């Protein structure tokens, strides 16, 4: 699953870095804006990305969208915090690139295949027995219960995450069906029903895709007005 | 006791110990202060640097091991396999831990931008990294490299790796001068009234989920 | 290969070997004649004469051992090690073995999510657990508790442990597909590591684990 399509990328920053480097750009907000489309394209391809990882990609996608929006619409005004998203992502990416360099170095050492071994002292013949007087059957029972609770947590983890995942394709279908019942809708209404941040992002990505394919249009009368979404193709 | 004697005793103790020894273990056994033990230990490390048996120094934990230059013949003798190569994911996590240790899972994931639970688990099982209590949060852990890390990569000490600053000197973080560049490109105008528009562009109110990196219910010991 | 290299390799081999090595073993391993190996070996013996670890020559069988000048402190150290309180990690390993024996190192580590070699070494040295051949893999071992330990607990069988039947059912290895997810390579082969690697400690008359060597099967006990 995951590996068939993402094996070349160790996460969203890795993908982003490689998109920028493919174009031989420096890591800047301009470069980030330029590769936003490709980044989103990539996320769309990997619908089967495991949910935890998908959420990580979406978090970066959200930042890219802010950067891209600002690049296209310089007059667009956004919260100062988001204003910083560009610089923030830029530094994040450069820091990531630095550690990428560190891992390349470790890989070099690993590839030399020069390793060392320690020795092991064991009593093969049990000439000695030195128990710990405080370790009783009760202690061992306690240790096992502890391990079992850890194991349970590990098992439950992926299932819990799956519940929170939203597929972009599902969202596209949902939006299309919403707009087949009404002529237009407001962006704020679409986002109001979102249960959490991930769903907001997915809704936004789905909308962008529909607008790009000219299935929907988005209009904003004045600068601070509501964004109105309309269906173009009938 | 002379330095010579210290060296000899330290070597004997490292030889019979079934796990790495810390300076403080050695001090206790020798009934000496770190100031007395350290020079002898450092001399021992230097003496043995090119011998068949070297002293691994893992941030103040010491262990004897074969010289990695003899890797192939020792491996063949033990009828063992060389340790499995690191995957791209694990080596990325390891690069961060090696240079930022001890470091939390949340910090690793913030740098990588992706969940790293499985890579961490893999590295823990292989013994290349270990958990250590987090002094600032009793419920969570920090990760650090082990002597097994040194053995795997054929190092004797973290000092065999170049300093991080040196390693990344070509990769600079953005500074003010870099940010004010290229006016021909559409640059975002500075937000004139930043506080007034929160309601108008709800779609743009997507904030980074900072919680995500600060809180990790799955962190276990 | 220079004398220096010979010396280094011989020292490495003696260090990891669980039994004394003969000149002819060394010649075979180094692919050299006795005339070539002997001077290097003799030089190594002379070099290490006053070190903390010396080369013992027992009628042409060579092995490393602690310098007898340090025997008091070495014995004190080992005695203290044998009597120290088991760490939480070691109790956890012991708990898994008690409830799930016989069990492999790889399985213990998959259940715990961390490398367990030091805990296993420690439990072995103290006679609390022992190795037993792995019926499904001749190169590795399974671990089980010793009769002495059973008696120590005051039980007639490990099945008398609290909630034995119920808990044994529940101790399952975590889902492999989940755990292997971001490891694009196969899981490590358990054979590479110290399981196959037991050593001699002449000071304590610790017997070697001959299972380890495949290069001379006739010497197996």
* Residues of chain A with C-beta less than 8 angstroms from the C-beta of B204: 65-66, 69, 76, 78-79, 82
* C143–chain B nearest CA distance, Å: 18
Helix, strand, or coil (residue A220): strand
pLDDT score recorded for residue C216: 35
pLDDT score recorded for residue A215: 81
pLDDT score recorded for residue B113: 93
Q: Does C214 touch chain B (CB under 8 A)?
A: yes
Between CA C205 and CA B128 the distance in angstroms is 32
Smallest CA–CA distance from B92 into chain A, residue: A103
Smallest CA–CA distance from C108 into chain A, residue: A147
Among A124, A134, A137, the residue with its CB nearest the CB of C206 is A124
How many Cβ atoms from other residues are within 10 Å of residue B22's Cβ? 14
Between CA B67 and CA A116 the distance in angstroms is 6
Q: Is B12 a residue whose pLDDT tops 60?
A: yes
Among B78, B196, B208, the residue with its CB nearest the CB of A63 is B208
* Residues of chain A with C-beta less than 8 angstroms from the C-beta of C161: 137, 140-141
Of the two residues C193 and A184, the one the predictor is more confident about is A184
Q: Does B1 touch chain A (CB under 8 A)?
A: no
Among B11, B82, B125, the residue with its CB nearest the CB of C52 is B11
Give burial (CB, 10 Å; 0-12/13-18/19+) of B54.
Answer: buried
Between CA B187 and CA B105 the distance in angstroms is 36
Q: Which of A56-60, B111-115, C26-30, C134-138 is predicted least confidently? A: A56-60
List chains touching C (3+ CB pairs under 8 A). Answer: A, B
* C32–chain A nearest CA distance, Å: 22
* Residues of chain C with C-beta less than 8 angstroms from the C-beta of A145: 167
Across chain A, mean pLDDT equals: 78
pLDDT score recorded for residue B171: 84
Q: Does B11 touch chain C (CB under 8 A)?
A: yes
* B119–chain A nearest CA distance, Å: 11
Beta-strand ranges (E) seen in C82-197 are 103-104, 129-133, 141-145
Contact of B155 with A105, CB cutoff 8 Å: no
Query: What angle do the packed helices C88-100 and A137-163 form, to 10 degrees?
Result: 90
Using 50, 70 and 90 to split pLDDT, how confident is the model at A79? Answer: low
* C156–chain B nearest CA distance, Å: 31
Q: Which of A22-31, B135-144, B210-219, C29-38 is predicted least confidently? A: B210-219
What is the DSSP code (8-state) at residue C208? Answer: P
Q: Is A29 a residue whose pLDDT tops 60?
A: yes
Using 50, 70 and 90 to split pLDDT, how confident is the model at A206? Answer: confident
Q: Which residues on adjacent β-strands are paired with residue C54? A: C65
Sign of CA dihedral B155, B160, B164, B169: negative
Whether C113 sits inside 8 A of B124 (CB atoms) is yes
ipTM for this model: 0.79
Among A11, A118, A153, the residue with its CB nearest the CB of B63 is A118
Smallest CA–CA distance from B165 into chain A, residue: A98
pLDDT score recorded for residue B13: 96
Among B96, B153, B207, the residue with its CB nearest the CB of A109 is B153
% of chain B surpassing 90 pLDDT: 68
Q: Does C153 touch chain A (CB under 8 A)?
A: yes
Q: Is A229 a residue whose pLDDT tops 50?
A: yes
Pairing of strands B53-58, B61-66: antiparallel
Q: Spell out which chain A residues touch chain C, with contact meaning CB-CB distance below 8 angstroms.
A: 2-3, 7, 50, 117-132, 134-148, 150-151, 154-155, 158
Using 50, 70 and 90 to split pLDDT, how confident is the model at A165? Answer: low
Q: Is A96 a residue whose pLDDT tops 90?
A: yes
pLDDT score recorded for residue C172: 81
Q: Which residue has the tokens 């292997």?
A: C180
Mutation for testing the A interface, residue in B64, B86, B113 having most A CBs under 10 Å: B113
pLDDT score recorded for residue A71: 75
Q: Does B69 touch chain C (CB under 8 A)?
A: yes
Mean pLDDT, chain C cut into blocks of 10 residues (221 residues total): 84 94 94 93 95 94 95 93 94 97 94 95 93 89 95 93 92 61 35 34 31 34 34
pLDDT score recorded for residue A122: 53
Contact of A71 with A33, CB cutoff 8 Å: yes
pLDDT digits (tens, 9 = 90+) for B76-98: 999 888 999 999 999 999 999 99
Of the two residues B203 and C161, the one the predictor is more confident about is C161
Smallest CA–CA distance from C200 into chain A, residue: A121
Chain A with chain C: Cβ pairs closer than 8 A? 132
Whether A117 sits inside 8 A of B74 (CB atoms) is yes
* Residues of chain A with C-beta less than 8 angstroms from the C-beta of C15: 119
* Residues of chain C with C-beta less than 8 angstroms from the C-beta of B66: 12, 15-16
Q: Does B121 touch chain C (CB under 8 A)?
A: yes
pLDDT digits (tens, 9 = 90+) for B14-47: 999 989 999 999 999 999 999 999 999 999 999 9
* A154–chain C nearest CA distance, Å: 7
Q: Does C172 touch chain A (CB under 8 A)?
A: yes
Q: Which of A197-206, B20-29, B176-185, C29-38 is predicted least confidently? A: B176-185
List chains touching B (3+ CB pairs under 8 A). Answer: A, C
What is the DSSP code (8-state) at residue B145? Answer: E
What's the average model confidence in pLDDT over A68-91?
A: 72
What is the DSSP code (8-state) at residue C63? Answer: E
Using 50, 70 and 90 to split pLDDT, how confident is the model at B201? Answer: very low
Whether B200 sits inside 8 A of A226 (CB atoms) is yes
C130 phi, psi to nearest 5 deg: -145, 165
Cα first-last separation, chain C: 35
Nearest-5° Cα angle at A112, A108 to A115: 115
Whether A71 sits inside 8 A of B186 (CB atoms) is yes
* Residues of chain B with C-beta less than 8 angstroms from the C-beta of C16: 66, 74, 77-78
% of chain B surpassing 70 pLDDT: 77
């Amino acid at each position: 699953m995951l590996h068939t399509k993402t094996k070349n990328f160790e996460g969203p920053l890795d993908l982003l870095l490689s998109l920028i480097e493919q174009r031989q750009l420096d890591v800047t907000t301009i470069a980030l804006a330029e590769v936003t489309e490709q980044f989103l394209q990539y996320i769309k391809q990997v619908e089967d990305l495991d949910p935890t990882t998908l959420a990580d990609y979406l978090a970066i996608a959200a930042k890219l969208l802010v950067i891209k929006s600002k690049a296209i619409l310089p007059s667009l005004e956004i919260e100062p915090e988001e204003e910083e998203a560009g610089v923030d992502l830029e530094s994040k990416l450069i820091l990531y690139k630095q550690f990428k360099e560190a891992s390349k170095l470790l890989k070099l050492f690993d590839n030399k295949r020069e390793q060392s071994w320690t020795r092991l002292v064991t009593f093969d013949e049990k000439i000695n027995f030195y128990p710990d007087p405080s370790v009783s059957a009760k202690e061992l029972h306690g240790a096992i219960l502890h391990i079992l609770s850890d194991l349970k947590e590990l098992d439950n983890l992926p299932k819990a995450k799956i519940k929170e995942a939203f597929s972009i394709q599902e969202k596209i279908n949902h939006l299309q069906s919403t707009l087949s019942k009404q002529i237009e809708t407001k962006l704020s209404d679409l986002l109001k029903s979102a249960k959490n941040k991930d769903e907001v992002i997915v809704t936004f990505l789905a909308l962008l895709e529909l607008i790009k394919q000219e299935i929907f249009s988005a209009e904003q009368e004045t600068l601070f007005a509501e964004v109105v979404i309309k269906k173009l193709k009938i | 006791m002379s330095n010579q004697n210290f060296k000899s005793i330290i070597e004997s103790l490292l030889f019979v110990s079934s796990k790495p020894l810390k300076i403080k273990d050695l001090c206790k056994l020798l009934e000496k202060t770190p100031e007395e033990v350290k020079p002898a230990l450092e001399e021992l490390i230097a003496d043995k640097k090119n011998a068949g048996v070297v002293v691994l120094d893992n941030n103040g934990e010491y262990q004897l091991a074969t010289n990695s230059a003899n890797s192939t013949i020792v491996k063949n003798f033990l009828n063992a396999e060389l340790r499995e190569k690191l995957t791209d994911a694990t080596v990325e996590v390891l690069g961060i831990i090696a240079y930022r240790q001890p470091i939390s899972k949340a910090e690793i994931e913030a740098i990588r931008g992706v969940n790293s639970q499985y890579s961490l688990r893999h590295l823990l099982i292989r013994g290349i990294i270990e958990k250590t209590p987090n002094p600032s949060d009793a419920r969570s852990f920090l990760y650090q490299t082990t002597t097994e890390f040194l053995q795997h990569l054929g190092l004797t000490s973290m000092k065999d790796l170049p300093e991080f600053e040196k390693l990344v000197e070509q990769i600079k973080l953005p500074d003010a001068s870099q940010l004010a560049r290229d006016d021909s490109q559409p640059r975002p105008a500075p937000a004139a009234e930043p506080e007034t528009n929160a309601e108008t562009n709800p779609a743009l109110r997507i904030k980074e989920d900072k919680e995500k990196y600060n809180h990790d219910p799955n962190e276990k010991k």
